[in-house]
Amino acid sequence: MTERPQDLQAWLDRAERALNAGRWTEARELLLPAAQWLPRVPQVQHHLGAAHLALGQPQLALESAQRALALAPAQWQSQLLQGRACKALGKMEAADACFDAVLDLQPSQGEALVAKADLAMNIFGLPLQAIDLVQPLLNHPQCAVDAELTTLMASLYDRDMSATALTQRVKRFSARHMRLPQLELPPLAPRNPATARPRVGIISPLFCNSPVYFLTISGWQHVAKGSDIVVFNRGYKSDWASAEFRALSAQWLDVQALPAESLARDIHAQDLDVLYDLGGWMDPIALKALSVKPARAMYKWVGGQSMTTGLDSFDGWIGDPWQSPLHLQHLYSEPLVNIPEGYATYTPPGYLPVKTPWSRRSRTPVVFSNPAKLSRAFMATLRQTVGPICFVHQQFQYARTRAKVEAALDGSKARAEFVCPSSHRQALEILGGFQTMVDTFPYSSGLTAREAQAMGLQVKVFTGELFCERHSLHLR
């Protein structure tokens, strides 16, 4: 154990400065011994938990938050931390209960409302509820930006405004909030292509079993033959797909905990010829870092590619004539770069099931989608159909998510069948047992539509104008 310093307050002040600056590793190393010297001080336990959570250690964060709450049950900040740790551990109902506990202690507390809205939209499939939760915060001094971003992202799933109106709002949001006006990076000196291999950066929170893998890995395997790939890993998931990204990278940088300005500097230091953003609106911190163009050239590709970033720092948006036809350029701040054969190549997993014979497949239509995509308009269309409909997604394990579907189908439990696969492999096995998948709108299926096609399903396609509204259009 580290020897207790004579000036303990100075030690704690150093830890707090590290926390405030986002230097999470330094803060953790200072707070670990402090928590042993001061086991009865809830604030020390709380700060240690915050450092653990930022470093991707949610179980340790949860334990620290629980120790802090045992010492100070009315400390709402520790309830908030406990909720965030539960969410990172996949304990979604427990997380929601923690945020409710914060609101019991501090009604209208902004961070708790934003956190509940995130769960409502991304876990329980209730984007309209998310909008309602953050509505009171749109003029909040600390939470207005998060509230507006939540509203914009939820509006991708279910809205009354047009695609053009939503795009204009996103562009205005990016102009106001997705910039680093105080940061100026020096120009990168020209590199000699005759003596140096191209340096290609890719950045995402989803270098794992995700659409980023299945829709881009074949491209990166090709690029790696003639270039050095530098991976900026913004996520904490690690699996077999992560291992494949690591195998093709010349350099792997874990930058999950970096704030936007530090991230921009780290990217700039890698002297990249080109950087591909594979995070998009899944990672607003990274987008903010990219606003200062820390690489010689930058392109937006798969990953959070729902609609324009609103930034003018990108050299192009990689799409195709189906996803982003040139007549829709007004919906993008990035120049459209369309690949005639298609913007992405699907690489199936080794466990893709063998096609089930057509005669043995169910004729019940299947909806295999994130429940957030079940918009009012889409559900109204389903309500006009006859017979049962099967809804497949892990998130239908939640009673409130199932209730949304049942209510939209005139309150009929008999019409909705729910299946909750426990893994991607199992989800594909289930999907392959159907003849027809009905795609959602306005937010359509991306990877799932390609998987359905690979297993021989017919996909009923709808379309709109935004990128995320045209994902399955090429299947027509």
pLDDT digits (tens, 9 = 90+) for 267-300: 999 999 999 999 999 999 999 999 999 999 999 9
Which neighbouring-strand residues pair with 438?
460
Rounded to the nearest 5 degrees, what angle is found at the Cα of 76, between the Cα atoms of 141 and 55?
85
**CA of residue 170 relative to chain centroid, distance:** 17
How far apart (Å, rounded) are the C-alpha atoms in residues 266 and 286?
12
pLDDT at 9: 94
Please check the confidence at residue 227 and state whether its pLDDT lies above 70. yes
Residue 17's contacts (CB-CB under 8 Å, 6 or more residues apart) are none
- Residue 366's Cβ-count burial label (10 Å; 0-12, 13-18, 19+) is buried
- The arrangement of secondary structure in 1-107, i.e. its CATH architecture, is Alpha Horseshoe (1.25)
Peptide bond into 259 cis (omega under 30): no
* DSSP 8-class letter at 324: S
What is the rounded CA–CA span in Å between residue 232 and residue 212?
A: 14
- Give the ranges where 156-239 is alpha helix by DSSP (H): 163-177, 211-223
Do the domains spanning 199-338 and 358-475 agree at the CATH topology level? Answer: yes
Q: How confident is the model at residue 476 (pLDDT cuts 50, 70, 90)?
A: low
Q: At what angle do helices 42-54 and 24-37 cross, to 10 degrees?
A: 150
How high is the pLDDT of residue 414? Answer: 79
User: Does the pLDDT at position 386 exceed 90?
Assistant: no
Span 442-464, mean pLDDT?
93
For the segment 49-72, the average pLDDT, to the nearest whole number, is 97
- Note the Cα 52 to chain centre separation in Å: 21
Which pLDDT does position 36 carry in this prediction?
A: 94
For residue 110, give the nearest of 139, 90, 88, 86 by alpha carbon. Answer: 139
Whether the predicted pLDDT of 449 surpasses 80:
yes
Give the pLDDT score at 1: 66
Options 2.60.120.10, 3.40.190.10, 3.30.450.40, 3.40.50.11380; CATH for 199-338 is 3.40.50.11380
Pairwise CA distance, residues 299 & 290, whole Å: 10
Percent of the chain with pLDDT over 70: 99
* Mean pLDDT taken over the chain: 95
Q: What is the pLDDT of residues 100-158, one digit of tens each?
A: 999 999 999 999 999 999 999 999 999 999 999 999 999 999 999 999 999 999 999 99
Going by C-alpha positions, the residue among 112, 61, 111 that lies closest to residue 82 is 61
Q: Please state the pTM of the whole predicted model.
A: 0.93
Q: How far apart are CA 18 and CA 42, in angstroms?
A: 18
Counting residues of the chain whose pLDDT is more than 90, the rounded percentage is 92
Residue 277 to residue 441: CA distance in whole angstroms = 25
Q: Are 42 and 68 in contact (CB under 8 A)?
A: yes
What Cα–Cα distance (Å) separates residue 142 from each residue in 50, 139, 145, 465?
19, 9, 8, 33
Q: Where are the domains of the chain?
A: 1-107, 199-338, 358-475
What is the per-residue pLDDT across 422-440, written as a single tens digit (0 to 9) for each?
999 999 999 999 999 999 9
Residues 354-367: tens digit of each pLDDT: 999 999 999 999 99
Nearest Cα to Cα of residue 213 among 181, 246, 184, 254: 246
Cα distance between residue 277 and residue 293, in whole Å: 11
Tell the residue number behind the tokens 């395997």, with chain if given: 221
pLDDT score, position 474? 78
Dihedral over Cα of 50, 237, 215, 472: its sign: negative
Q: Where are the beta strands (DSSP E) in 195-330?
A: 199-204, 228-233, 251-254, 274-277, 298-300, 316-319
Is residue 30 over pLDDT 90? yes
Which residue, among 371, 286, 306, has the nearest Cα to 153 in the 3D structure? 306
Mean pLDDT of 375-395: 94
Query: Residue 382 — very low, low, confident or very high, per pLDDT cuts 50/70/90?
Result: very high
Average pLDDT over residues 377-404: 95
Is the pLDDT reported for residue 214 higher than 70? Answer: yes
Beta carbons within 10 angstroms of residue 360's beta carbon:
8
pLDDT (0 to 100) of residue 221: 97
**What band does 2 get if pLDDT is binned at 50, 70 and 90?**
confident
Asked if residue 260 lies in contact with residue 283, where contact means CB atoms within 8 angstroms, the answer is no
Q: What is the CATH number of domain 358-475?
A: 3.40.50.2000
Check if the beta carbon of residue 319 is closer than 8 Å to that of residue 297: no
Say how far apart CA 86 and CA 123 lie, in whole Å: 13
10 Å CB burial of residue 343 (0-12, 13-18, 19+) is buried
From the list 58, 114, 112, 50, the residue with the least C-alpha distance to 85 is 58
| Residue 163: both structure tokens together | 């695609």
Q: Got the DSSP string for 98-113?
A: HHHHHHHHSTT-HHHH
Listed in sequence order, the residues at least 6 apart from 15 whose beta carbon sits closer than 8 Å to its beta carbon are 27, 30, 31, 34, 47
